Amino acid sequence: MQAGVLTAARSITLQQRPIPEPGPGEVRLKMKLVGICGSDVSIFQGHRPDLKFPLIIGHEGIGYVDKPGDGVSQLQIGDRVVIEPNYPCGHCEYCWQGRGNICINKRIIGVLETGCFAEYAVVPASFAWKIPKSIRDEDAVVIEPTAVALHTLYSSPARPGDTIAVVGLGAIGLLVTHLAQKMGYTVLAYDRVQEKVNLASNFGAIPVSADADTSQIAAIWKEAKVHTVFECAGAALAFTLSVEAAPRGACVVVAGLSDKPSVITEFGMTRQGITIITSIIYQHPIDFRRTIGLIESGFIQPGKIISARESFSNLASAIETACTGQHAKMVLTI
């Protein structure tokens, strides 16, 4: 099979690899669509020096069950499934607390083990979700980031009827915007790329100009009575802006994954009564179940964030394009 193998930072090639065999409790998938995630870009750029090369990356994907392993009865050959790529152990103290998203034994495909930028992938059957027939491929391939966005929204104290602000309109920021707007929140959306602000506006968000500075954003948020700010950019400056511009008493939910330090003045943050909450991935299995249900009902259409499609044969150039940050979501056809 062909697989996208990262051999070093900024070096990815399509290589021939043996088709993997599923073990007990696993299924082999013939992949159809895979999304390029911000995490894939970060790994490609060398921001994870702890990873071992060579590595087949990629973790957002849908495909068809090609071969079930021993003991698998809930899935059949030909079933269309979406991969839930983070596997909590279910046994550590954090899993027992219902916090599998920070499981110390968590397995992550495409990061800590072989991913799905390939013609075939093997995953545990319990982390391969059968996709209802009514869900389009375009919506199915972004189920995983939508589950991230849903968990992010539910991590905050904000409720429908409140006004929220979203900083950073990549896939997660746009999906938080889409979910929140559909659920009855008022959403103010900001990004340094005006085209992404325009896309959020198409979802029903109130756009904040990409040219606005921190003081201007603070005034806009104060006037709008912003309850919670969602930092989804994954950049140190975005976190600093979110905290400094947040209205008095507001909450800042950090969903971004910047590896650079931010500059925050404790005096100002504490005096203003700003609450900081972090949000990472999602809880298994409830957030995937909720996400699939919301899409199946027609309540949300997350596939609308897809801004570019490429053939798998163009993987290397597609990831280079994703590094520019101009696209909300790029999807590869295998």
DSSP state letter for 312: G
pLDDT tier at 14 (50, 70, 90 boundaries)?
very high
Average pLDDT over residues 44-49: 91
Between CA 326 and CA 188 the distance in angstroms is 20
Between CA 282 and CA 179 the distance in angstroms is 15
The token pair at 319 is 């990831």
Q: Please write the tens of the pLDDT for every residue from 249-298.
A: 999 999 999 888 999 989 989 999 999 999 999 999 999 999 999 999 99
pLDDT for the residue numbered 34: 98
Q: Please write the tens of the pLDDT for every residue from 142-155.
A: 999 999 999 999 99
Continuous H helices in the chain: 38-44, 93-96, 137-140, 143-154, 171-183, 194-202, 214-224, 236-245, 266-271, 286-296, 315-322
pLDDT for the residue numbered 187: 98
pLDDT for the residue numbered 305: 97
pLDDT tier at 50 (50, 70, 90 boundaries)?
confident
pLDDT for the residue numbered 182: 98
The burial of 97, by beta-carbon neighbours within 10 Å (0-12 exposed, 13-18 middle, 19 or more buried), is given as: exposed
pLDDT for the residue numbered 259: 85
Average pLDDT over residues 313-322: 97
| Mean of pLDDT over the chain | 97
DSSP state letter for 246: S
How large a percentage of the chain has pLDDT more than 90?
94
Between CA 326 and CA 193 the distance in angstroms is 7
- Based on C-alpha coordinates, what's the Rg of the chain? 20
State whether residue 253 is helix, strand or coil.
strand
Length of the chain: 334
Q: Which amino acid is at 31?
A: M
Q: Which residues pair with 82 in a beta bridge?
A: 62, 129
3-state secondary structure 76-117: CCCCEEEECCEECCCCCHHHHCCCHHHCCCCEEECCCECCCC
Between CA 30 and CA 80 the distance in angstroms is 10
pLDDT for the residue numbered 271: 96
Q: Please write the tens of the pLDDT for every residue from 148-198.
A: 999 999 999 999 999 999 999 999 999 999 999 999 999 999 999 988 999
pLDDT for the residue numbered 260: 87
The token pair at 152 is 């992010």
Average pLDDT over residues 216-245: 97
267 alpha-carbon distance from chain centroid: 33
314 alpha-carbon distance from chain centroid: 22
pLDDT for the residue numbered 49: 85
Between CA 40 and CA 273 the distance in angstroms is 35
Q: What domains does the chain contain, in order, with CATH numbers?
A: 2-146+282-333 (3.90.180.10), 156-278 (3.40.50.720)
pLDDT for the residue numbered 218: 98
First CA to last CA across the chain, in angstroms? Answer: 11
Between CA 257 and CA 134 the distance in angstroms is 33
Q: Is the pLDDT of residue 40 over 90?
A: yes
How large a percentage of the chain has pLDDT more than 70?
100
Average pLDDT over residues 4-9: 96
pLDDT for the residue numbered 29: 98
**Contact predicate 82/145, CB 8 Å:** no
The token pair at 34 is 């895979």
- Range with lowest mean pLDDT among 71-75, 140-144, 212-216, 258-262: 258-262
